[in-house]
Structure 1
Amino acid sequence: MYVAVKGGEAAINEAHKLLAEERRGDPSVSELSVDQIDEQLSLAVDRVMTEGSLYDRKLAALAIKQARGDLIEAIFLIRAYRTTLPRFGSSRPVDTAVMGIRRRISATFKDIPGGQILGPTFDYTHRLLDFKLAAEGGGGDGNPLDEDAGSIGEKALLDEAMPRVVDLLKHEGLIEDEQPGDGDEDVGDLTREPMSFPVERDIRLQNLARGDEGFLLALGYSTQRGYGRSHPFAGEIRLGEVAVEFTPEDLGFPIEIGELTLTECQMVNQFKGSAEAPPQFTRGYGLSFGHCERKVIAMALVDRALKGRALGETVEGPAQDQEFVMEHSDNIQATGFVEHLKLPHYVDFQAELELVRKMRRKAARADADNANDEIVEAAE
């Protein structure tokens, strides 16, 4: 990653001052607070936490403010800060089956145990600008929650456990069987260990969770346009809160240390079968911090595409190429290599400039020699 610049220290210091002024904007306009960003730009905060691999709403909001709304720069700030934090251990696997549900839908079955719960979604809104929001203190056309449903701050959670929709297919043996572990398995850590291909699914999913939403969205779209032989159905998408448990060494049993807001997607894809497996449905999986619905859908599509080789399918699309996907999905790494082109390359360019000049002189001499040969031949 290219982030360091040497020389021109005075100019760089002045550029930092100018950046601070640009970030603040017109002093006559009230400054955004971190709390305002957290509460009112929550989807941006959720993306920064997910791709920055750090669940802390206030820090993510601060990073967005510092980055002037550039989410990739904010993700970079969060990842950099994350490297300074000590690690005390690993939590127990979270159980999304007992998630406190705020949103839960399925595109495969209309009537599902527990029902369809729309929750907070843009899906049924009119894509028209709401100019009431531009008015000072404007609240838009949204209807307030009923008192019995609880306040927005309380999130009106549905605490009862809801069975997974894909379990309906599993009960009939119509979907690939994926058994959860007991929580004691060794899981790779993409943030501490370099990737070596081929990689197992634990690392693949970590990579996709940290991957750029736009890149994954494009890859997921490509699988539906013939570059991945995919015909997916959204088996279930759910949003809500899950408890996080940690087992201290001195206690020997798990204790709850907090909760996370997560979005989960299980995508269902048809599989024609192979010599080892009968025709059935297969799964794609996506999980993110906060409310990142588009991200987890795209993640699930790409996760399923990356299973293609193991399932004996012909690998013919970019989304099915493990190395292509994983080496290019990280927006921070991509930013480093693309934006380093802005940094001084004077010596390199001068070397290439001189090389091009030599090549042109050589080509000119060759043209002149050819022209002389043609003159001689014409004279003869």
Structure 2
Amino acid sequence: MYIAVKGGEAAIEASRQLLARKRRGPEDQPALQVAQVQSQLSLLVSRVMAEASLFDPELAALAVTQALGDPIEAAFLLRAYRTTLPRLAFSEPLDTDTLRAARRVSAIFKDLPGGQVLGPTPDYTQRLLDFSLLRGEAPTASKAATFTQPDTPADGTVPNALHSLAAEGLIEPALPQAGDPVPVDITRDPPRYPLPRSGRLQMLARADEGWVLGMGYATQRGYAHSHPFAGDIRFGAATVSVVPDELDFPIDIGEIEVTECQMLNQFVGSATQPPQFTRGYGLVFGHGERKAMAMSLVDRVLRCDEFDERAGSPTQDQEFVLPQGDSVEASGFVQHLKLPHYVTFESELQMIRQLRADAQALAQAQAQVPTKDQP
């Protein structure tokens, strides 16, 4: 739209050059390499992959670098690239029970099969600035860095923490029902509300982390019937399998890193279901623990109709929670206000002036009309 402004094309080109200069930074400092972003800003890369719905750490790191570290802009870049890719095959459902866990924790068991695997996390740090990083000092190796849980299998897989509860019938089953419909694909078909759970999970998985976190926090502050427990949280590598057209059995084609969370909520039962714990589910690309936890909280409260719960909160309204969570759409809709709107504004300005003139004329006319108390 700025092209129509006098000198707009030259101004746009100058703006692009300034952006490139800002991205490069001072010439006396080494240029930031994409490989550095991928390996050293891995949590940011994971967030961008999740919100772009594309698992490719290298391209996500490229998008982060190009976007000057803005995760929403980076997700926009990566999602735009994703639309150019052909769909070659459909993968089989991930078996997260066989995930090679770099981290797995549960808040509901004191003695957990496979043990707690703390892995890389800031949960146990004091949140104090580490000024040694300013001096470029490398961390010293320690025994803690090589600690392994004694009862963790050699291949890194750990049993699901919720299997024992499921075996007792104390938690709702997590198996597909007979005749379960094919999951919707929101990347090909526009969402139509009410969405089935498969569509809701897709939208939450690629929604803005801040929005999902806010909605998850709201459910804990009383804006839903939510009493959550962190049942099983795990991060690691999951195997991806496909069934080629020329074969009738699946083959493994690689691994992707994912974070999975299952939250438990107490359910007192209904006319058709016994008292049990119900599940909220979250799964995101890369290491995104906070996003997966918030996603599982929101997933559970959006299932209120399944458990005959009263939906009296915005967090239980699909059409409030899901569309506003898309960071690319939200960013575009807000930022388009920076583009020229002088024609629209001029029309509204004329309307305001006319309304003010009409109001002033009416006031003057009323002031000249005598009342019954005047002579």
Please say if residues 236 and 258 of structure 2, whose CA atoms lie closer than 8 Å, have aligned partners that are also in contact. Answer: yes
* Cα deviation code 1:228-267 (max 9, x no counterpart): 1211000010111111111111122211111011110000
Say if 2:208 is the partner of 1:212: yes
Shift of the 147–199 alpha-carbon distance from structure 1 to 2, 3 Å rule, reads closer
> Unaligned 5+ residue runs, structure 2?
none
* Cα deviation code 1:120-166 (max 9, x no counterpart): 11111011000001113x124674666686xxxxxx99525422122
What residue in structure 2 maps to residue 139 of structure 1?
138
Please say if residues 102 and 158 of structure 1, whose CA atoms lie closer than 8 Å, have aligned partners that are also in contact. Answer: no
What residue in structure 1 maps to residue 98 of structure 2?
98
Shift of the 324–84 alpha-carbon distance from structure 1 to 2, 3 Å rule, reads same
Q: Distance in 2 between matches of 1:33 and 1:63?
A: 12
Q: How many residues align?
A: 369
Matches within 5 A, 1:249-264: 249-264=245-260
- Select which of 185, 199, 204 maps to 1:189: 185
Matches within 5 A, 1:9-24: 9-24=9-24
What residue in structure 1 maps to residue 363 of structure 2?
367
Please say if residues 101 and 157 of structure 1, whose CA atoms lie closer than 8 Å, have aligned partners that are also in contact. Answer: no
Q: Distance in 1 between matches of 2:61 and 2:213?
A: 24
User: Cα distance, 1:5 vs. partner?
Assistant: 5.2
Say if 2:371 is the partner of 1:379: no
Q: Distance in 1 between matches of 2:100 and 2:249?
A: 23
Match of 1:168, SS state, is helix
Please say if residues 220 and 302 of structure 1, whose CA atoms lie closer than 8 Å, have aligned partners that are also in contact. Answer: yes
Q: Distance in 2 between matches of 1:292 and 1:245?
A: 22
TM-score, with length taken from structure 1: 0.92
- Select which of 343, 348, 351 maps to 1:352: 348
Judge which range, 255-264 or 178-187, deviates more. Answer: 178-187
- Select which of 261, 274, 277 maps to 2:270: 274
* Cα deviation code 1:306-332 (max 9, x no counterpart): 001221111111211011111111000
Say if 2:229 is the partner of 1:230: no
User: Cα distance, 1:178 vs. partner?
Assistant: 2.3
User: Cα distance, 1:175 vs. partner?
Assistant: 1.2
Matches within 5 A, 1:1-380: 6-7=3-4, 8-136=8-136, 138-140=137-139, 143=142, 159-180=155-176, 186-373=182-369, 376-380=371-375
Please say if residues 93 and 183 of structure 1, whose CA atoms lie closer than 8 Å, have aligned partners that are also in contact. Answer: no
User: Cα distance, 1:180 vs. partner?
Assistant: 3.8
Please say if residues 232 and 262 of structure 2, whose CA atoms lie closer than 8 Å, have aligned partners that are also in contact. Answer: yes
User: Cα distance, 1:27 vs. partner?
Assistant: 1.0
Q: Distance in 2 between matches of 1:109 and 1:183?
A: 34
Please say if residues 50 and 210 of structure 1, whose CA atoms lie closer than 8 Å, have aligned partners that are also in contact. Answer: yes
Q: Distance in 1 between matches of 2:153 and 2:34?
A: 25
Shift of the 20–317 alpha-carbon distance from structure 1 to 2, 3 Å rule, reads same
Please say if residues 100 and 158 of structure 2, whose CA atoms lie closer than 8 Å, have aligned partners that are also in contact. Answer: no
User: Cα distance, 1:47 vs. partner?
Assistant: 0.5
Judge which range, 271-280 or 156-165, deviates more. Answer: 156-165
Q: Distance in 1 between matches of 2:281 and 2:154?
A: 23
Q: Distance in 1 between matches of 2:180 and 2:154?
A: 30
Q: Distance in 1 between matches of 2:364 and 2:143?
A: 82
Judge which range, 271-280 or 282-291, deviates more. Answer: 271-280
User: Cα distance, 1:288 vs. partner?
Assistant: 0.8
* Cα deviation code 1:256-286 (max 9, x no counterpart): 1110111100000011222221221110000
Q: Distance in 2 between matches of 1:304 and 1:41?
A: 31
Please say if residues 102 and 157 of structure 1, whose CA atoms lie closer than 8 Å, have aligned partners that are also in contact. Answer: no
What residue in structure 2 maps to residue 152 of structure 1?
none
Q: Distance in 1 between matches of 2:178 and 2:117?
A: 30
Please say if residues 157 and 240 of structure 1, whose CA atoms lie closer than 8 Å, have aligned partners that are also in contact. Answer: no
Q: Distance in 1 between matches of 2:298 and 2:19?
A: 38
Residue identity opposite 2:123 in structure 1: D
Q: CA RMSD in A?
A: 2.1
Residue identity opposite 1:369 in structure 2: A
* Cα deviation code 1:174-224 (max 9, x no counterpart): 111221479996221111111111111111100000000000000000001
User: Cα distance, 1:369 vs. partner?
Assistant: 2.2
Shift of the 142–325 alpha-carbon distance from structure 1 to 2, 3 Å rule, reads farther
Q: Distance in 1 between matches of 2:93 and 2:23?
A: 40
Q: Distance in 2 between matches of 1:22 and 1:229?
A: 48
User: Cα distance, 1:118 vs. partner?
Assistant: 0.8
Match of 1:239, SS state, is strand
Please say if residues 262 and 290 of structure 1, whose CA atoms lie closer than 8 Å, have aligned partners that are also in contact. Answer: yes
User: Cα distance, 1:372 vs. partner?
Assistant: 2.2
Q: Distance in 1 between matches of 2:177 and 2:260?
A: 18
Residue identity opposite 1:357 in structure 2: R
Q: Distance in 2 between matches of 1:183 and 1:88?
A: 26
